[in-house]
Each structure stands twice: as C-alpha cells, then as structure tokens.
C-alpha cells in the first residue's frame, strides 16, 4: 500500500488545523467579534494556489456539485442573495481566517502588527487590545506552510506546467467540474 501523503492531503490537514485554531480564537474573542452568517463585507473574488484550487474541485466533484452558481456582479461571485457563501464547506483557507486578529511581520514597523476586520473589536479600547501569540493567528506562518505545500504540488504534478507564482481565479471552479 502506498503511504505517501499527497500534497492535497497536506493542504486539507493545514485547513483542518486552521479551522481548529479559528474556532478556538472565535471562542476566545466571542464577546468582541460580530462575524455572522450573511455578513459578507470581507468577501471578494479570490485567486488561490493550484493545490487549493484542485483540492476544492476534487471535494466538490465528490459531493456531486457540477456547476456552482457564480454571479459576477457580486463582490465574490459565490455569494447568494442573502450574502451567504454557496461554497462554504469548500471555501479557501483565507476565508476561514477572516475577521480574526491576524498577526504578521510589519516591514515598515520592523515588528509584529495585528490586523482584523474593523467591524470586530469595534467598541474595545485599543489600549486594552492585548494581542499576542496566544490570542492571534500568525498569518505569516500560515502563508509559509501553504506556500511550501504549493511548491510540493508543483513538483508532484510537473505536467501542469505551473510556476511558483501561479494563482488560479476561484471563479473558474465551474470549468473544472
């Protein structure tokens, strides 16, 4: 039996870990976060790495989804009229971190900064927003892990002729289903 873990499996494990951490942070910051179903101002048309794109395609095929509705007039074409994501179970990793306090290395500041949706933490005293490694998601680490998996995917599937900078528009899902 071949025990090799494919890059798509690695991607899904990273997604599982991100979901777990996101759930913990949402719980931790529950009294200061207003993210909810139908709130979609953070949604926008996205591009993703091929490994993420083809993982989503594979899962949607397995679920029997043939052509998800895409409305080019919306901020993200996968939003329905109620502002809900129609591909929610398959959405990319970046969508799973929206609204959370995200820590990243801020080059001009020469140090770590934290970003979050302005709708969240809105009534909190900025001086009391005591963000640190235990209550934020480290965006740089997440992006580094995702990029490593992306590079491995390129090696695994050289026939696709993608490069390190290849990104695919999520709007193209329907063309591969």
Binding site for ligand SF4 (CB under 6 A): 34-35, 39, 41-44, 46, 76, 78-79, 85, 87, 91, 95, 98-99, 117, 119-120
Which of 29, 150 has the CB closer to ligand SF4? Answer: 29
Could you give the CA distance from residue 128 to residue 147 in angstroms, rounded to a whole number? 34
Which of 8, 95 has the CB closer to ligand SF4? Answer: 95
The residue whose Cβ lies closest to ligand SF4 is: 99
CB of 115 to ligand SF4, least distance (A): 11
Which of 93, 154 has the CB closer to ligand SF4? Answer: 93
Closest CA to 140 of 112, 109, 170: 112
CB of 35 to ligand SF4, least distance (A): 3
CB of 93 to ligand SF4, least distance (A): 10
CB of 46 to ligand SF4, least distance (A): 6
Which of 60, 76 has the CB closer to ligand SF4? Answer: 76
Which of 28, 35 has the CB closer to ligand SF4? Answer: 35
CB of 84 to ligand SF4, least distance (A): 8
**DSSP, residue by residue, the chain:** ---PPPHHHHHHHHHHHHHHHHHHHHHHTGGG----TT--TT----EE-HHHHHHHHHHHHHTT-------TTSSSTTB-TTS-BTTGGG--HHHHHTTS-EEEEETTTTEEEEE--TTTTTTS-GGG----TTSSEEHHHHHHHHHHHHHHHHHH-GGG---TT--EEGGGGGGG-
């Amino acid at each position: 039996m071949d025990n090799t873990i494919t890059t798509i499996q690695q991607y899904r494990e990273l997604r599982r870990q991100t979901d777990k951490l996101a759930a913990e942070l949402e719980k931790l910051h529950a009294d200061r976060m207003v993210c909810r179903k139908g709130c979609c101002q953070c949604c926008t048309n996205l591009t993703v790495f091929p490994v993420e794109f083809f993982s989503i395609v594979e899962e949607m095929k397995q679920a029997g989804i043939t052509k998800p509705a895409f409305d080019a007039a919306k901020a993200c074409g996968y939003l329905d009229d109620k502002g809900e994501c129609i591909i929610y179970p398959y959405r990319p990793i970046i969508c799973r971190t929206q609204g959370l306090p995200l820590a990243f290395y801020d080059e001009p500041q020469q140090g770590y900064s934290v970003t979050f949706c302005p709708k969240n933490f809105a009534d909190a005293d900025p001086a009391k927003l005591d963000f640190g490694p235990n209550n934020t998601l480290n965006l740089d680490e997440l992006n580094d892990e995702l990029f490593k998996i992306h590079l491995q995917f390129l090696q695994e599937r050289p026939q696709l002729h993608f490069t390190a900078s290849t990104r695919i528009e999520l709007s193209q899902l329907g063309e591969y289903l």
